[in-house]
Amino acid sequence: MPDRPTASPKTGAAGPSHQMWGGRFAAGPAAALDQLNRSLPVDHRLWPQDVSAARAWVGALGLAGVLDAEEVKLLAGGLERATERLAAGAAQDAPDEDVHTLVERLLYEAVGPVAGKLNTGRSRNDQVATDLRLWTRDTLAELDAGIAALGQALCAQAADGVDLLLPGYTHGQRAQPVRWGYVLLAHAWPLTRDRARLAQAADRLSELPLGSGAVAGSGIPVDRERLARELGFARVAPNALDATGDRDFVAECLFGLTLLATHVSRLAGELATYASAEFGFIRLADEFCTGSSLLPQKRNPDVLELARAKAARTLADLVGLLGTLKGLPAGYSKDLQEDKTYLFDAVDTMAVVLPAVRGAVATLRPVPERMRAALDPSLLATDLADGLVLRGVPFREAHGLVGRLVKAAEELGAPVSAVPGVRAAAIHPAIPDLLASLGDWEASVERRATAGGSSREAVGRQLRELQVLFGRPAAPVT
């Protein structure tokens, strides 16, 4: 990435006063280390969470008697002013090592040396774990809305597409006639699983790390239950060594995002196929097509191609995190600093992909005549076989008989329905009658009337259920 966050030419300006440590070092960190080590270009976006946690911690230190009322007030006010400066862009190009140092510096600039009392009994190890859990929790809520919106777009298209028939495909080959709405809903259901999975991840991550100190718990007797309630966590993390080294929640979130991206990739890939001249089942809206720099006639489905590709990017982020965690001991190792790069990248990716694909879905137009034209008579083969079964022919035998009919049709270069009666009857005497009574495509689709099938009624039931699901937040787990 162009303005690679971990490398900042401005770093050189960072004086020792901007670091939380350094008392015992004869020399400042080398520039090369600093380039590698500084995380502010990545973690600065955690400042709202860092300030929230700081505010709660000040309160907890007050209740624990470490700060007096005056100091609590002073520090709370200072955090207020730091927040204003941060909201106005103070994190931009700041020289600090990381977001925690940045907030402490701004506090210092607001209230002077008493700022040095803020981090009593805290470590960056429990701070960053707290900040990132807060950020992830809020992000998952926004993401849930974005997934639901894509689901609603699919439902809206599906509602308009219940009457449109096209081939259903397996192995990329025409298999049986289905409804266009049914195909779209097959891509909507996975989104409901994504939402449930991410909601459970959000529930599981709701554990407060703050008060874990660096490795062994805090030496200050703060009331962690109260802290948890104040910051909106469901529980207190039960082991401080685990709490500071645990990045399961990042992995789980990345996995949820990757599976979501995979679903979107499958949808996008299928739509791209349907948008080709050869299929021609759908037409993307002009505002969701791009053109070619060389070929004036092109209408390229870039949005779908990029959405298809992004599943590899979220997978890459997941691999990066899991590859990092392997073999590390419990507790904090600096390797864990990489977690945010992966998480932010995957979240940002889906924050761009979801609206783009939702827009493409919402604005595409089906082309009913092309769909209908793709329904060739061989798609009735299963109906024929089923007809034979109902007349007592074992299915496996019926399957073979119809296979021979298809072969005969191919040799004639004609649809199965045009195989001469004599020849058809030679394969099985019931076939001519069955061919005559197969009815139209609609009849064929309606024969698949089991729950989950592609009949009008079965599709309608799915649609109503999904509209309800996408109309509300993912169910909380309680």
Q: Is 246 in the site for a copy of itself (CB under 8 A)?
A: yes
Q: Angle formed by the axes of helices 124-160 and 339-363, to 10°?
A: 10
Residue 171 is among the residues annotated as catalytic for this protein: yes
Q: Which residues inside 362-381 make contact with a copy of itself, applying CB under 8 A?
A: 363, 374, 376, 378-379, 381
Contacts of 55 (CB under 8 A, 6+ apart): 76, 79
| Amino acid found at 449 | A
C-alpha distances in Å from residue 237, one per residue of 210, 225, 374, 401: 8, 10, 58, 65
Q: Which residues inside 133-162 make contact with a copy of itself, applying CB under 8 A?
A: none
State the Cα–Cα distance between residues 466 and 478, nearest whole angstrom.
22
In the complex, the smallest distance separating the C-beta of residue 317 from a copy of itself, rounded to whole angstroms, is: 6
Residue of the chain from 316, 417, 432, 438 that contacts a copy of itself (CB under 8 A): 316
DSSP state string for 23-78: TT-SSPPPHHHHHHH--HHHHGGGHHHHHHHHHHHHHHHHHTTSS-HHHHHHHHHH
Q: Which residues inside 421-450 make contact with a copy of itself, applying CB under 8 A?
A: 445, 447-450
3-class DSSP assignment, residue 376: coil
Alpha-helical segments (H) within 64-179? 69-87, 99-111, 124-160
Residue 8 is among the residues annotated as catalytic for this protein: no
Only one of the segments 81-89, 144-152, 184-192, 428-436 lies at the binding site for a copy of itself (rule: CB under 8 A); that segment is 184-192
Q: H/E element holding 329?
A: none
Return the DSSP state at 137. Answer: H
DSSP state string for 272-321: HHHTSTTT--EE--GGG-B--SS-TT--B-HHHHHHHHHHHHHHHHHHHH
DSSP β-bridge partners for residue 166: 178
User: Which residue number, 139 or 455, has a Cβ lying nearer to a copy of itself?
Assistant: 455
Q: Which residues inside 326-345 make contact with a copy of itself, applying CB under 8 A?
A: 326-335, 337-338, 341-342, 344-345
Q: Where are the beta strands (DSSP E) in 340-415?
A: 365-366
Q: Is 391 in the site for a copy of itself (CB under 8 A)?
A: no
Q: Is 50 in the site for a copy of itself (CB under 8 A)?
A: no
Q: Is 460 in the site for a copy of itself (CB under 8 A)?
A: no
Q: Is 416 in the site for a copy of itself (CB under 8 A)?
A: yes
Interface with a copy of itself: number of residues (CB under 8 A): 220
Only one of the segments 33-41, 80-88, 133-141, 146-154 lies at the binding site for a copy of itself (rule: CB under 8 A); that segment is 33-41
Residue of the chain from 76, 81, 120, 149 that contacts a copy of itself (CB under 8 A): 120
Q: Which residues inside 87-116 make contact with a copy of itself, applying CB under 8 A?
A: 100, 104, 113-116
| Amino acid found at 424 | A
Residue of the chain from 59, 95, 151, 177 that contacts a copy of itself (CB under 8 A): 177
In the complex, the smallest distance separating the C-beta of residue 328 from a copy of itself, rounded to whole angstroms, is: 5
Residue 43 corresponds to which tokens in the numbers above? 């973690």
User: Which residue number, 12 or 116, has a Cβ lying nearer to a copy of itself?
Assistant: 116
Residue of the chain from 125, 130, 136, 152 that contacts a copy of itself (CB under 8 A): 125
Q: H/E element holding 195?
A: helix 180-204
User: Which residue number, 1 or 69, has a Cβ lying nearer to a copy of itself?
Assistant: 1
The 395-414 contact track toward a copy of itself, x by CB under 8 A, reads: xxx-xxxxxxxxx--x----
Q: H/E element holding 173?
A: strand 173-179
User: Which residue number, 148 or 318, has a Cβ lying nearer to a copy of itself?
Assistant: 318
User: Which residue number, 83 or 262, has a Cβ lying nearer to a copy of itself?
Assistant: 262
Q: Of the residues 39, 52, 100, 171, which is catalytic?
A: 171
Residue of the chain from 109, 144, 160, 465 that contacts a copy of itself (CB under 8 A): 465
Q: Is 204 in the site for a copy of itself (CB under 8 A)?
A: yes
In the complex, the smallest distance separating the C-beta of residue 47 from a copy of itself, rounded to whole angstroms, is: 11
Q: Is 301 in the site for a copy of itself (CB under 8 A)?
A: yes
Q: How many CB atoms lie within 10 A of CB 173?
A: 7
Q: Which residues inside 250-279 make contact with a copy of itself, applying CB under 8 A?
A: 251-252, 255, 258-259, 262, 265-270, 272-273, 275-279
C-alpha distances in Å from residue 95, one per residue of 50, 115, 421: 17, 18, 86
Contacts of 463 (CB under 8 A, 6+ apart): 155, 158, 159, 162, 181, 185
In the complex, the smallest distance separating the C-beta of residue 420 from a copy of itself, rounded to whole angstroms, is: 18
Q: Is 226 in the site for a copy of itself (CB under 8 A)?
A: no
- Active centre residues (catalytic): 171, 292
